[in-house]
Every structure is written in structure tokens, then in C-alpha cells.
Amino acid sequence: MPEKMVRMVVDTHAQLWTKEVVESMPEDMVKSYSKVFGKDFNISVEMMIASMDSAGVDRAVVVGVDAETTFNYKVSNEAVYNAVSESDGRLIGFAGVDPHKGRIALKELERAVDEMGMKGLKLMPHLHMLNPNDEKMYPLYRLANELGIPVLFHTGTQFHAGTKIRYCKPIYIDDVAVDFPDLKLIIAHFGYPWYEEALAVVRRNENVFFNIAGWSPKYIPEVVVKQMNSILSDKVLFGTDFPLMTYPRVMTELEELKLKKSTYENMFYRNPKKLGLV
């Protein structure tokens, strides 16, 4: 970790791959991720916290996913809530809801925030088979705006078997940002391979941020590193996509990038604070 690191290190994008979650997921999707990342997933909350501790990470967002209508895929909000409760304040929950469920999805999001203390909403366009600017998504944005929570979008490449990457282009988030200027939006994985498109959306919209989750920092494209260390220092968020990437590796490689101290401070703490995560 960079010397004299600031108050807190917040991972804004991690995953739950507990035994309970893995058993609830479609087998072909679990296999596709195990093949790509070369590991089997069965990570307890205790194991996750231990990995965070080994790298000096204080808190981490874990996300729910609801794509029952399209792929019978669900990481329940109850599973997220249970993990957050077990973590003694170390984990932060983001709800997952299925936009195809209409009013049921709205009620579930409201319940997740008001009763379960969720701090954001995670949407997976390729699993929902909807572009982020699809009208089916808009009731969720209106409610998220009312609830004062950020929306985290998967963008860019992904490895869920049977899904289509075309739903994951970050350009669609520009429409959402313009239509909901007070709603905080996060472009996950800096939109790769459409990272220049993602950076443009972030740059022109005050309410849009991006994270570096799911990437080995030494392989982040040069243009992304340059902008996260300069004009987009106030928009970049630390993320790992743990357990797909391990905490020690990501933190070590981030240090090797030798970014400005202010960039580390923004990425780890100041920018997550803008989103209400600390």
C-alpha cells in the first residue's frame, strides 16, 4: 500500500461466492467463470475478511443480482444482508433486483434499502438482456434517485455463459446520466473494451464515476491510468471484483503504478465518500 495511506481503503465492487451463493447460480455460469479465472469458488465471509486484512482493505461492497426472469440467476438480497451482518461492519451491501418484475422489483429495492440497509443498486444489463437506457430500467432509476443511492452497472466484457456482450456498452449510460443528473452512476470495469467511450461518458457527466474492478492493475490500458491520475482523479473508484482478483495482488500492483498520493486518496476514500459508502 502507498506510504502514509489515508483514513480508509474502500473496495467499491466485490462479489459473494459463498457456498450458498454458488449453489444458487446456474451451473454453466459458474463453470465459465471457473475456467476463465482458473479457480473454483467457495469463499466464506471469514475468508474474504482475512484477504482484505492481508492487504489493508477496510471495507468492501458486495452485490446482489436478480436475473431470474431471463436466466434463473439470483444472488439474493438476503444472502447479501446475511454476509454484511456477519462481517461486523466490514462489508457494504448493494441490492440486486430484476427490472422485468416491474412493481415487485421496486418494492424489493425499497425493502432492501429501508429494511436491510443496502447502500446501492447493482444492475447487470447482459443478464437482464436490456440496455441501460431501456425504458424498463427507468422506474428503478427514479426510485434509486428518491432513495439517494448510487447505481452500479456492469459494463464491458463478461464471461457468463449464454449472455451477449452487446448490452454492456457504456455509451448507453450517458442517456441515464443526462436524464437523471442527480443520480450517482458507476461504470464498472472502466467499460473495457470500450474504455475510451466509458471515459468520455464519465468526463462529460458530473454524476458518473468508474471503477477498475476485475483487472490486474498492471494491465489497465495506459490512457485509463493517465486519466485516473489526472482529469478523472475525482471520478475513479478502487474495485477488485474479489474473489476474481485477490486483494494482495491488486494492492501491490496499484502501488507499483506510482500514482499521485491524491489519486490514491481519491480512489480509496474520497470518491467512495461522495457516493455515501463511508
Residue 204 in domain: yes
**Contact indicator for 169, 197 with CB cutoff of 8 Å:** yes
Asked whether residue 4 is assigned to any structural domain, the reply reads no
Taking the mean position of all CA atoms in its chain, how far away is CA 47?
20
The domain tally of the chain equals 1
Q: Name which residue leads in pLDDT, 20 or 15.
A: 15
Average pLDDT over residues 237-253: 95
Whether the per-residue pLDDT at 3 is higher than 70: the answer is no
The identity of residue 274, as a single letter, is K
Paired strand residues for 123:
153
For residue 86, tell me if it sits in a domain: yes
Mean model confidence pLDDT for the chain: 93
Q: Which domain holds residue 190?
A: 10-274
The DSSP secondary structure of 84-140, one letter per residue, reads: HHHTTT-EEEEEE--GGGTHHHHHHHHHHHHTT---EEEE-HHHHT--TTSGGGHHH
pLDDT at 6 over 70: no
- Residue for cell digits 502507498? 2
d(CA 128, CA 277): 25
Tell me, yes or no, whether 5 lies in a domain: no
What's the pLDDT at 162?
Answer: 83
Q: Residue 33: what pLDDT?
A: 67
Judge whether 245 lies within some domain: yes
- In this predicted structure, the answer to whether residue 59 has a pLDDT above a threshold of 90 is yes
Flag whether pLDDT at 55 surpasses 60.
yes
How many Cα atoms within 13 Å fall on the side-chain side of residue 18?
Answer: 22
Return the residue matching grid coordinates 475478511: 49
Cell numbers given for 37: 479465472
Query: Over the stretch 110-124, which tens digit does the pLDDT of each residue have?
Result: 999 999 999 999 999
Q: Is residue 99 part of a domain?
A: yes
What are the strands, taking DSSP E only, across 7-64? 10-14, 59-63
For 179-212, the pLDDT digits (tens) are 999 999 999 999 999 999 999 999 999 999 999 9
Q: What is the CATH number of the domain that holds 181?
A: 3.20.20.140
- Domain assignment of residue 177, yes or no: yes
Considering the domain boundaries, does residue 3 fall inside one?
no
Please tell me whether residue 243 adopts helix, strand or coil conformation. coil
Determine the pLDDT at residue 274.
Answer: 98
